[in-house]
A and B are shown apart, each in its own frame.
Chain A
Amino acid sequence: MECVFGLVGNGFAIVAADTSAVHSILVHKSNEDKIMVLDSHKLIAASGESGDRVQFTEYIQKNVALYQFRNGIPLTTAAAANFTRGELATALRKNPYFVNILLAGYDKETGPSLYYIDYIATLHKVDKGAFGYGSYFSLSMMDRHYHSGMTVEEAIDLVDKCIMEIRSRLVVAPPNFVIKIVDKDGAREYAWRESVKDAAVASA
């Protein structure tokens, strides 16, 4: 089952997501990146129905870019989160998107922030959040070890603890995870945690 979790540290926000693309009992691939870079200082980690996940996050990404083109300045993280919630809420009673989102961002004025947006468009600003079956383990680990103002090293340590817990205690645990970070220098990939590597594709 898809695991996504994230937390806010001292001047940065970190999100981690599993990287398996699953259909019923078959694992299509185990290096699917579910954390999209929304713009220079925002990350959107999404879990849920795979078609909806890709389509919806791309739609949000393009609209965030459009705002920047039209107005010359980027959206704040709070504005992007509220826009995302609005789109989910509008679609909810017509053609709902089954996508759960953790939106992490860094604003110069307000610092790092993390927004929990579930598939029925409930929006809440949080310090730590998680979705999926993995949330039962990662949220508990974060409740125990999280404190405000963690350094990157402490946060990565906590993320690794959560991944270890998910791997050992979840019955259909995803083998690989991707970790991305956003801070004043922008949004970027931090690391992969792989325990199963896809076989290299044979060259033609």
Chain B
Amino acid sequence: MSIFEYNGSALVAMVGKNCFAIASDRRLGVQLQTIATDFQRIFKIHDRLFLGLSGLATDAQTLYQRLVFRHKLYQLREERDIKPETFANLVSALLYEKRFGPYFCQPVIAGLGVEDKPFICTMDSIGAKELAKDFVVAGTASESLYGACESMFKENMEPEELFETVSQALLSSVDRDCLSGWGGHVYVVTPTEVKERILKGRMD
């Protein structure tokens, strides 16, 4: 079994009209055994920037701690929050630093940039950025997620419709993947508020 599939994960981020949604599954497993059904994969960097980390859970936790540290330093020096594009570059640089002994994580970054324009991107475990205008996916269920998102995505969705689309795409994809699932965690972020919702799907 690949090291990326050791804990199991599913992550998706989608762009809407002046908003974005980022969603993950909730399972923490050790190969075939499920350890917890409330594992947090999406982290808030600041009010308008969220980071999802799929892959090996220990590296996701280490990487998150390093990134929060770097962002706090950035806030002290720049006296403002980091822009999503800049943060993506930071993550990419941190990952490439470990080119020959990498973190086994695939991050998904979603944020609201200047003039509330939504920004999403993903990268591989050594920091190769992949910008997208519509959606990005990561994790063991990524192949199913690509298919589900491609068929369900529409441009310029309002936050409520975006939430429905992201939730359906996530749940239908993790149902075909034994290593991810046990519910979902969806954040829908608009310029004025962040709505966090827990999904109840097939609890297996």
Contacts and interface: CB of A to CB of B under 8 A. Distances in A.
A85 B61 contact: yes
Interface string B21-36: 0000000101001011
Given A129-B35, A135-B33, A136-B33, A122 B7 contact: yes
A124 B36 contact: yes
Q: Is the interface of B mostly helix, strand, loop or mixed?
A: mixed
B58 A121 contact: yes
Contact of A123 (B33, B56, B61, B101): B61
A108 interface: no
Given A92-B58, A122-B57, A124-B35, 8 more contacts: A89-B58, A120-B58, A121-B58, A122-B7, A122-B58, A124-B39, A124-B57, A126-B36
Nearest to B101: A93
A118 interface: yes
Nearest to B98: A93
Most interface-central of A93, A120, A123 (chain B CB within 10 A): A120
B58 A116 contact: no
Query: What class of interface size applies to chain B in its complex with A?
Result: 10 to 19
B28 A124 contact: yes
A136 B33 CA distance: 8
Contacts of A129: 35
B62 interface: yes
Contacts of B35: 116, 124, 126, 129
Contacts of B101: 93
B56 A120 contact: yes
Classify chain A's interface size: 10 to 19
Interface in A120-139: 120-124, 126, 129, 135-136, 139
Given A124-B35, A124-B36, A126-B36, A118 B61 contact: no
A44 to B, nearest CB: 18
Contacts of B30: 118
A116 B36 contact: yes
Interface in B50-68: 56-58, 61-62
13 contacts: A85-B61, A89-B58, A89-B62, A120-B56, A121-B61, A121-B62, A122-B28, A123-B58, A124-B28, A124-B57, A126-B36, A129-B35, A139-B33
Contacts of B62: 89, 121
A129 B62 CA distance: 22
Interface in A87-127: 89, 92-93, 116, 118, 120-124, 126
B83 to A, nearest CB: 29
A139 to B, nearest CB: 8
Interface in A32-75: none
